[in-house]
Amino acid sequence: MKIMPCPLNGPRNISEFVCGGDVKEMPNPESCSDLEWANYVFIHKNPAGVVDEWWCHTPTAYWFVARRNTVTEEILETFTAQQYFGASQGEPA
Amino acid sequence: MPFTLIKNGLKNNASDIVDFPRQPDLKSSYDVIIVGAGGHGCAAAYYLARDWGIKNVCVIDKGYLGGGNTARNTAIIRSNYLTAEGVAFYKESMDLFKELDRELDINLMYSERGHLTLAHNDASIRTSRWRAEVNKQLGVDSELLYTDDVARVCPQLNVSQDVRYPILGALYHPPGAIARHDAVAWGYARDAIRMGAEVHQKTPVTDVIVEGGRVKGIQTDKGPVYADKVLQAVAGSSSLLAGMAGLELPIRTIPLQACVSQPYKPILDTIIVSGSLHIYVSQSSRGEFVMGGSTDPYPLYSTRSTLDFKEGLMSHMLELFPFLSEARIMRQWAGMADMSPDFSPIMGLTPIENYYIDAGWGTWGFKATPVSGKRMAECVATNKQPALLEPFRLSRFDNFTLTAEKGAASVGH
Ligand SMILES: Cc1cc2nc3c(=O)[nH]c(=O)nc-3n(C[C@H](O)[C@H](O)[C@H](O)COP(=O)(O)OP(=O)(O)OC[C@H]3O[C@@H](n4cnc5c(N)ncnc54)[C@H](O)[C@@H]3O)c2cc1C
């Protein structure tokens, strides 16, 4: 069983988590075009390599960011949302 | 049934037939390059030559012929999908499949077994009825059965109501079949080569050459190869190759695992699928139980196997077939499935001129090998989106006209 180091709950079996998809910036739905919104909803980078994703520990409904390698299946680092985005802008720290 | 076998069996000194002659060196240019020598790529090369007289074609693969998902699937063929577009498309594929071993003169071991999609709750019964009605309208043999009739069709199933997920009914699709997946790729490749195409294995494509919005060729470890037209058919690597051409796709690459038991005497004729339990199983003509489940829980470019998968699969398998409790797993493997958001393929023209895509085959693309090859060949030859492929165009995601193919959604197969 793969172990996910959860920033809140510590190391847990990965079956307790769900993957919420790539961390990506949401365009402003008021001002963006339909195409920009469609791309935001459907397009995935789907890289063979390092990716930053949202993950949720389902029993505690806790969301955080995990950086993992999609080829070697290593989990490289996990972040609380605050660590990842920094306190201010919503930009990656 | 292929007659060559009988003919040569009766002859005293049948001459050797070389199925795959040594291929010439890679040329510097072709009319068409097809990236990916899986079933889909090889079928496209075959129909380009047969239907359109385009024979200066190179099929190129980083691995070996048919070594991708073509060699890894559980080989289920059916056409009882939910949407009219889906049913029409997969029905054409089944019609082609039925004639294919004669046409290619190769034993595909196409075996009609009957296919049961079990329903364990009211919602599944409702969807089964819906699918059966759509199927019948479109001339596909399909009906909803309740428990008694399910037991008649497949007496091996445990239909006791005293289990965790009792069987309430099933969608029954009598023409549901399995076939020998490798032979499909081999047959298409062999006949494409006979008609003039080349198949180059162990040749990774490392870049796609695009100039002024039009494709010019590809880059390989043996140097650049130019072509008027390029078709990509690389399943799990779809995003990577499209990325080389400058395209981003609505695809995620997620492993799908499967395994087989030791061989046993023939006991299970029907193909059994359960969406709620996430399993599908059939007994191969070698006697092995071929078993699969749903895709892995997260994206990965890997073909490793996991214990979690097998534990989950077996707990449900034993509820349906308690007599398998002593059966042993003999082999396990995985493939990389190119999953699309609406469980439908992405086929046809792309924003790059003369660059065509055949992707989004996820967990359901083996059964579509003939129709994809045939229609992608038409698309490449005419440079137009064939009517049958219209619902599957890449641009459907730009204007939110997805296909809602729940008929494939329940489990991976
Ligand atoms: C476990 C499992 C069970 C399945 N069960 C079923 C089923 O029961 N029924 C069904 O209909 N479908 C099933 N599928 C899906 C089906 O196997 C696939 O959709 C189908 O085989 C795809 O065929 P293909 O020719 O497009 O791809 P593949 O056979 O994967 O061929 C793609 C080829 O592209 C090559 N390639 C990739 N990148 C490059 C590059 N850069 N340069 C050169 N070559 C490259 C690869 O080496 C590979 O040979 C299953 C899949 C899996 C994994």
With respect to residue A14, please indicate whether it lies within any of the assigned structural domains: no
The CATH number of the domain where B191 resides is what? Answer: 3.50.50.60
Beta-sheet pairing, A62-69 with A75-79: antiparallel
Q: How far apart are CA B5 and CA A80, in angstroms?
A: 65
**What is the number of residues in chain B?**
413
Chain A: give the shortest CA distance to residue B408, in Å: 19
What's the CA gap between B145 and B163, in Å, rounded? 19
Judge if B195 and B260 occupy the same domain.
no
Domain identity same for B145 and B288:
yes
CB-based contact A44 B250, cutoff 8 Å = yes
**Residue B301 belongs to a domain with what CATH number?**
3.30.9.10
In a domain, A48, yes or no: no
Residue B387, classified by CB atoms within 10 Å of its CB into exposed (0-12), middle (13-18) or buried (19+), is exposed
Residue A5 falls within a domain, yes or no? yes
Query: The domain containing residue B379 runs over which residues?
Result: 27-73+182-251+342-409
Does residue B97 sit within a domain?
Answer: no
Q: Do A46 and B298 touch (CB under 8 A)?
A: no
Q: Quote the number of domains for chain A.
A: 1
Return d(Cα B121, Cα B337) in angstroms, integer. 28
Contacts of A15 in chain B (CB under 8 A): 297, 308
Q: How far apart are CA B183 and CA B217, in angstroms?
A: 29
Interface ipTM: 0.93
Of B248, B302, B397, the CB nearest to A71: B302
Does a structural domain hold residue A21?
A: no
Cα pseudo-dihedral B43, B46, B47, B50, rounded to 10: -160
B219 and B362 in one domain? yes
3-state secondary structure chain A: CCEEEECCCEEEEHHHEEEEEECCCCCCCCCCCHHHHHHHHHCCCCCCCEEEEEEEEHHHCEEEEEEEECCCCCEEEEECHHHHHCCCCCCCC
Give one DSSP letter per residue of B107-124, joined into a string.
----EE--EEEEE-SHHH
Per-residue model confidence as pLDDT tens for chain B (413 residues): 567 778 777 887 777 777 888 999 999 999 999 999 999 999 999 999 999 999 999 999 999 999 999 999 999 999 999 998 999 999 999 999 999 999 999 999 999 999 999 999 999 999 999 999 999 999 999 999 999 999 999 999 999 999 999 999 999 999 999 999 999 999 999 999 999 999 999 999 999 999 999 999 999 999 999 999 999 999 999 999 999 999 999 999 999 999 999 999 999 999 999 988 999 999 999 999 999 999 999 999 999 999 999 999 999 999 999 999 999 999 999 999 999 999 999 999 999 999 999 999 999 999 999 999 999 999 999 999 999 999 999 999 998 999 877 655 444 44
Strands (E), B300-379: 329-339, 346-349, 355-359
Cβ distance A73 to B304 less than 8 Å, yes or no, reads: yes
Contacts of A19 in chain B (CB under 8 A): 297-299
In a domain, A17, yes or no: no
A38/B contact by beta carbon, under 8 A: yes
Tally of domains within chain B: 2
Amino acid making up residue B7: K
The residue from B285, B313, B339 where one domain ends is B339
Q: Rounded to a whole number, what is the distance in angstroms from the first to the last CA of chain A? A: 31
| A88: containing domain | 1-9+66-93
